[in-house]
């Protein structure tokens, strides 16, 4: 049974020729002519179009003519400004291929015979000349015909502030890790932009010293590193970002060629330079064909008013969907796992409310002092509390989104933030560790910049009414720890009360999500101690990631930059989230600014301010062991 197929292709009436050969391939000298190869088919003209009908067994024979016509079209279009190369000869061992006669395609009606082993003669698509010879595969011939069509970068990533510590230590290694793992296109263009007078090679030397390959697979590490560095370019922006961004745009266009390309700009710049840089990118360097996205580092303003001004400046040049406000702490696996744990496990979701949960504690404890980070006038509240802590609480407390789409998740997060009660200064304890010769730091701390904050937050909605969310975040403490503790209520009328002991809190169920020092999920339960008698013990069901999973955990910058490339924005704060978060913290920040409230001092390497213990007791929450 024969299969009938049809093709409708552009064809001028003047190109119509007798179709009499058993198997032929016609190449006309006019651009509008279409090469036809046929056997047992009929042609007719319909409104300047040629209809080809024939058996399915002749499909590849007819497709040869279509291919040559496409190649000719591409060369003619580019002929005014690009040198053409002749298509190389092709040899193939297919049952249904073509062989031109010795005269080639000089005459439109030149015929070809079908043979077991056939040679397509190389033809110059501009002059019509040809020569015979051994040839590569069909796919290579087709690519050779396109060799003069520029194939530029499909994605360009510019790091503004490329010579800074953050760019060298985190951003560049993250970009290379993505490239090495195959999450960046091979033709990616990486651009470094700063005020220093450097060359491409200078930047490559700076970056090369920070690059490492995956521990779990190091194949072709050197080759990948060389390829990545060869795709890296430097632009000296000078002190006029308007001119600098114009130069960056021109360099990007050179690398992109005529390809449709997307652009990402990572703004690793001081807050005071952010608006000028972003606005000039918006005016001078946005992608002309693809999408443009900018990554903005925290903190997002100094207070509610300055944050609003920053947001308005960004929105004057970009749409909300183009802006990605990054907080590297939100790229940790613990944060990504919050929604998975809640919404994919039936055992947790029915208990996730005020009826069963007694309190929630979010703890970020740094044992190594990072005084430079908090002595720039922003402090730990503006730096960590505003973004990381409140975003963590929002993900913990939000209602199930209708989908995993970023906007759906953000819609639920902002509802939680808007429902959160403004932080009462009486429910916030600020601390600052004592600078001493033994703390190995020489930084001079501002007297009102806190390095520690403990606070009690309440969410006024039906799910969480009356449940305290206790926060401890600080540096220079006794232990390095990042974890979330969800403590459940006591069992009503517990018949084993006498077997638990005097402290009923020791028998309370608890879910612990630990990120550091060892990532783990722990569930604290009561269990009978083996042996005679009835004695209960609080035990932990333990999922320790390093024992369960052998894979290397990507750096948080890797994770978040990958999300930006994918357009996944659920871990990035939207403008209304930023405003809602500042609204929660405004009373405390105004108190600090107005009255110059001095933080409580605590010993470096200690447990933090004593006032934090009293705050926990005030809200009826037992202190988690350090």
Q: Which residues are catalytic?
A: 388
160 bridge partner residues: 193, 267
d(CA 97, CA 114): 7
CA distances from 109 to 51, 283, 355 (A): 18, 56, 86
Place of tokens 């701390």: 445
Across-strand partners of 235? 193
Phi, psi of 191, deg, nearest 5: -120, 130
| CA distance linking residue 496 with residue 498, whole number of Å | 6
3-state helix, strand, coil in the chain (%, to 5): 35, 20, 40
Question: Where do the DSSP E strands lie in 452-604?
Answer: 452-458, 468-475, 481-488, 510-516, 520-528, 536-544, 600-602
Beta strands in 23-121 (DSSP E): 23-24, 42-46, 49-55, 90-92, 111-112, 118-120
The b/e string for 385-398 (b: 16+ C-beta within 10 A; e otherwise) is: bbbbbbbbbbbbbb
Q: Which two tokens stand for residue 260?
A: 């449709």
Dist. CA 395–CA 387, nearest whole Å: 12
Q: Which of 266, 260, 267 is nearest to 287 (CA)?
A: 260
Q: Please give the Cα distance from 487 to 76 (Å, whole number).
A: 73
The widest CA-to-CA distance across the chain, in whole angstroms, is: 105
Q: What is the DSSP letter of 440?
A: S
- DSSP line for 281-320: HHHH-S-SSS-EEEEEESP--SSHHHHHHHHHHHHTTS-G
Burial grade of 495 (CB within 10 A; 0-12, 13-18, 19 or more): exposed
Strands of 4-10's sheet in order across: 4-10, 49-55, 42-46
In Å, what is the CA distance from 371 to each residue of 397, 444, 448? 31, 8, 13
624 vs 485: CA distance, rounded Å:
9
Torsion of CA 533, 534, 537, 542, to 10 degrees: 90
Helical H segments across 351-405, by residue range: 371-374, 379-380, 390-397
Rounded to whole angstroms, the Cα distance separating 189 from 230 reads 9
CB 377 within 8 A of CB 272: no
Cα(521)–Cα(277) distance, rounded to whole angstroms?
42
């Amino acid at each position: 049974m024969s299969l009938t197929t049809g093709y409708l292709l552009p064809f001028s009436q003047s190109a119509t020729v007798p179709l009499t050969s058993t198997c032929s391939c016609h190449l006309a000298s006019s651009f509008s002519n279409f090469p036809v190869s046929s056997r047992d088919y009929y042609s007719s003209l319909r409104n300047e179009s040629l209809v080809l009908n024939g058996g399915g067994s002749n499909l590849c024979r007819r497709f040869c003519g279509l291919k040559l016509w496409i190649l000719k079209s591409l060369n003619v279009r580019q002929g005014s400004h690009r040198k053409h190369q002749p298509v190389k000869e092709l040899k193939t061992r297919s049952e249904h291929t073509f062989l031109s006669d010795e005269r080639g395609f000089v005459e439109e009606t030149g015929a070809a015979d079908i043979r077991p082993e056939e040679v397509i003669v190389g033809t110059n698509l501009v002059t019509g000349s040809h020569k015979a010879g051994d040839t590569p595969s069909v796919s290579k011939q087709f690519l050779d015909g396109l060799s003069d069509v520029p194939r530029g970068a499909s994605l360009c990533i510019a790091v503004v502030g490329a010579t800074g510590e953050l760019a060298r230590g985190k951003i560049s290694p993250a970009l290379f890790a993505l490239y090495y793992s195959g999450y960046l296109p091979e033709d990616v263009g990486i651009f470094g932009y700063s005020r220093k007078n450097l060359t491409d090679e200078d930047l490559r030397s700076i970056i090369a010293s920070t690059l490492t390959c995956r521990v779990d697979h190091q194949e072709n590490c050197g080759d990948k590193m060389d390829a990545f560095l060869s795709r890296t370019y430097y632009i000296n922006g000078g002190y006029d970002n308007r001119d600098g961004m114009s130069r960056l745009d021109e360099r990007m266009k050179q690398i992109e060629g005529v390809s449709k390309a997307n652009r990402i700009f990572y703004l690793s710049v001081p807050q005071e330079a952010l608006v000028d840089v972003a606005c000039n990118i918006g005016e001078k360097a946005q992608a002309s064909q693809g999408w443009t996205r900018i990554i903005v580092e925290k903190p997002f303003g100094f207070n509610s008013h300055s944050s609003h001004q920053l947001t308005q400046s960004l929105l004057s040049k970009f749409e909300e969907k183009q802006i990605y406000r990054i907080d590297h702490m939100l790229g940790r696996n613990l944060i990504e796992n919050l929604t998975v744990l809640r919404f994919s496990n039936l055992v947790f979701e029915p208990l996730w409310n005020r009826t069963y949960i007694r309190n929630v504690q979010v703890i970020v404890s740094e044992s190594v002092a990072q005084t430079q980070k908090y002595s720039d006038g922003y402090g730990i509240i503006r730096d960590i509390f505003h973004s990381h802590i409140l975003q963590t609480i929002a993900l913990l407390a939000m209602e199930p989104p209708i989908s995993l789409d970023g906007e759906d998740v953000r819609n639920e997060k902002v509802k939680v933030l808007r429902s959160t009660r403004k932080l009462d200064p009486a429910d916030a304890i600020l601390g600052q560790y004592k600078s001493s010769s033994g703390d190995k730091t020489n930084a001079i701390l501002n007297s009102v910049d806190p390095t520690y904050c403990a606070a009690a937050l309440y969410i006024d909605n039906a799910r969480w009414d009356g449940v305290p969310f206790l926060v401890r975040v600080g540096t220079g403490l006794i232990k390095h720890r990042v974890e979330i503790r969800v403590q459940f209520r006591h069992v009503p009328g517990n018949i084993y009360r006498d077997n638990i002991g005097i402290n009923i809190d020791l028998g309370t169920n608890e879910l612990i999500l630990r990120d550091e020092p060892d990532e783990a999920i722990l569930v604290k339960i009561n269990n009978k101690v083996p042996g005679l008698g009835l004695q209960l013990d609080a035990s932990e069901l333990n999922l320790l990631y390093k024992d369960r999973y052998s894979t290397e955990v990507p750096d948080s910058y890797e994770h978040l930059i990958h999300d930006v490339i994918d357009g996944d924005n659920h871990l990035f704060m939207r403008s209304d989230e930023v405003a809602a978060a500042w609204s929660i913290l405004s009373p405390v920040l105004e108190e600090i600014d107005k009255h110059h409230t001095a933080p409580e001092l605590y010993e470096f390497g200690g447990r933090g301010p004593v006032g934090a213990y009293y705050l926990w007791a005030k809200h009826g929450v037992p202190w988690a062991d350090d």
